[in-house]
Amino acid sequence: MATYNYENKRVIFDNGEGGVSILVPSPNCELSLEQIIDKDIPAGRSKDTLEASELPTDRTYRNAWTKGDRQVGINVEKAKALHKDKIRAVRDPLLAAEDVAYMRADEAGNNSEKNAVRARKQALRDVTNIVDTATITATDVNGVTAELKAVWDADVLGDNPL
Amino acid sequence: MSILKVTDIQSNGTGFNDVVSFKNASGTENGTLCRAWVNFDGQGTVAIRADFNVSSITDNGTGDYTVNFSNSLPDGNYCLVATQGQNGNSNPNYVMTVKEVVNAPGTGGFTLTTNGATGGTADSDGVYVAVFR
């Protein structure tokens, strides 16, 4: 029986929820690509066959990807929401550490330090606002990803892990 | 003791689920073959490294993949054995889950997620799955 090699082919299709799924064919399958598509992609979905090299490789905001016309697109608002989650993941332990600092300042009766902690905590709470106000000019996945990853307040959050 | 050296062992039926059975001298079945397996990279450009009886995988999102069988299994009561890479120890507390509620394992395949230490889904550079039935 013949085997086919579609190692470098990818089929993007509408996942039915506004996003995109990407079918990765087996490198050695006894089914043709058309047979695999018919079997493994739900009927009625918009789909395009691309080269693997045409897909974005930075998956930082993968869950914001969309099915474009023969390309993968990105929902900027969803990507921004994902970016906020990434900021929150870094922020949460910093807030917890400030809680400890506040308790210590309170126990020591150090009001100036308590005020400083209050200010730092407020800055941490507000830090996701920079995502809302960020202007993203790119429209393609790679461009949006690069611009969004740079939206980071290192003074408040420390080094950018993205 | 005798040694069987052959190139192929064929079952009597022609269907994928007409499997060869292994039995002891009393006729008790004492083993089964792996019905499907796959080794794939779930990061960057997601790609299958090698597989058996897998027609494709579907990248559904971050750390969310569907494995599709080339030949369907008789039912969804198979056993999945799965593990994943640690991505350079940067996030070592990985666990994997099979999406039983959203997409129960079926005759045609199953969906799994790879998760990071914080509990959310995370891509893995090595996902290894074997299926027994």
Distance between CA atoms of residues A10 and A100, nearest Å: 50
Give domain status of residue B1, yes or no: no
Residue A154's pLDDT band (cuts 50, 70, 90): very high
- Each residue's pLDDT, cut to its tens digit, for chain B (133 residues) gives 789 899 999 999 999 999 988 999 999 999 989 999 999 999 999 999 999 999 999 999 999 999 999 999 999 999 999 888 766 545 555 666 776 655 667 899 999 988 877 668 888 889 999 999 9
Give a yes or no: residue B39 inside a domain: yes
With respect to residue B100, please indicate whether it lies within any of the assigned structural domains. yes
The number of domains in chain B is 1
How far off is chain A from B28, nearest CA to CA, in Å?
34
E strand or H helix that includes residue A119? helix A111-126
Is B2 part of a structural domain of the chain? no
Q: Is A122 exposed, middle or buried (0-12, 13-18, 19+ CB in 10 A)?
A: exposed
Quote ipTM for the complex. Answer: 0.88
Interface probe for B, chosen from A8, A10, A40 (most Cβ of B below 10 Å), is: A40
pLDDT of residue A133: 94
Q: Give pLDDT, residue B115.
A: 82
The pLDDT value given to residue B95: 65
Does residue A81 register a pLDDT over 60? yes
pTM of the entire predicted model? 0.89
B46 lies in some domain: yes
Would you say residue B28 lies in a domain? no
Residue showing tokens 């400890």: A100
Whether pLDDT at A95 is above 70: yes
Task: Retrieve residue A139's tokens.
Answer: 């429209």
Contact assignment for B59 to A21 by CB distance below 8 Å: yes
Q: What is the mean pLDDT of residues A132-150?
A: 96
Q: What proportion of chain A, given as a percentage, has pLDDT over 90? A: 93
Helix (H, G, I), strand (E, B) or coil at A106: helix
Which of A26, A29, A92, A145 is the best substitution to test chain B (most B C-beta atoms within 10 A)? A26
Q: What integer pLDDT is reported at residue A111 of this predicted model?
A: 96
Residue B8's alpha-carbon distances to A81, A87, B97, in angstroms, are 55, 57, 36
pLDDT score, position A6: 84
State which H helix or E strand residue A72 sits in: strand A72-74
Chain A CB contacts of B50 under 8 Å are 27
Amino acid at site A39: K
Q: Which residues contact B116 (CB under 8 A, 6 or more apart)?
A: B63, B91, B93, B94, B122
Determine the average pLDDT of the residues in A62-76. 97
Chain-chain contact of A27 with B54 (C-beta, under 8 angstroms): no
Query: Is residue A68 classed exposed, middle or buried when 0-12, 13-18 and 19+ CB atoms within 10 A define those classes?
Result: middle
- Measured between beta carbons, the chain B residues lying within 8 angstroms of A28 are 51
Q: Is A150's Cβ below 8 Å from some Cβ in B?
A: no
A40/B58 Cβ within 8 A: yes
- Specify which residues A24 forms β-bridges with: B57
Q: Which residue is associated with the tokens 């930075």?
A: A58
Write out the residue range of the structural domain in which residue B98 sits: 34-132
Q: Three-state DSSP class for A71?
A: coil
pLDDT at residue B110, as a whole number? 93
Distance CA B132, CA B94 (A): 23
